[in-house]
Amino acid sequence: MELREQARPFIQCHVNSGSAASFWHDDWTQNGPLLRLVGSIGPMVTGIPLDAAVSHVVRNGHWHISTRSRHPVLRAIRDALPLHPPNPNSADEDYYMWRNSLNTPPSVFSAAKIHLSLYPNPPSVIWRKVVWFKKRIPRHAFITWLVMKERMVTRDRLLSWGLDVSQPVFFVV
């Protein structure tokens, strides 16, 4: 449930009968969820309940939305609706499809592609080959990586945090 808002853009609903698809919450139009398009005022302006299915808005093969009003919310909804409404008497049920990225059409689910969509690879750094080469010594590579990321806990950094650090001892020969 915590990831619902993060996953919602990747789910698209294909409407057949309109009985399972949510009119306001599901992504079934070309413009995404209608509630996101018009905001929370949409159900109040249209009189369509927040929990209404798509089939609730179809009457006699036509969309049942006021055409008299020029309210911007109603105009936005009318413009977003498909030209042909679904057939509520259809035997085919609505179904949901998964998109592996926001810019691709629905396809077979791929955890790797979803992960890349949510967490794209960071840009490559110029020092990568200096630290991560084939015959590296892990301890040296790790320390070098810390230095490159400026995360080495050095005496200067400890002093900048206000910690009491003893002075280094230098031997003179």
pTM of the prediction? 0.63
Contacts of 148 (CB under 8 A, 6+ apart): 125, 127, 130, 131
pLDDT in tens, the chain (173 residues): 787 788 888 888 999 999 999 999 999 998 889 999 999 999 998 989 999 999 999 999 899 888 778 889 999 999 999 999 999 988 899 999 988 888 888 888 888 988 888 888 888 889 899 899 999 999 999 999 998 888 887 777 788 888 887 776 655 65
Residue carrying the six token digits 């992960």: 115
Contacts of 159 (CB under 8 A, 6+ apart): 165
**Domain residue ranges in the chain:** 4-118, 122-173
Q: How many CB atoms lie within 10 A of CB 131?
A: 18
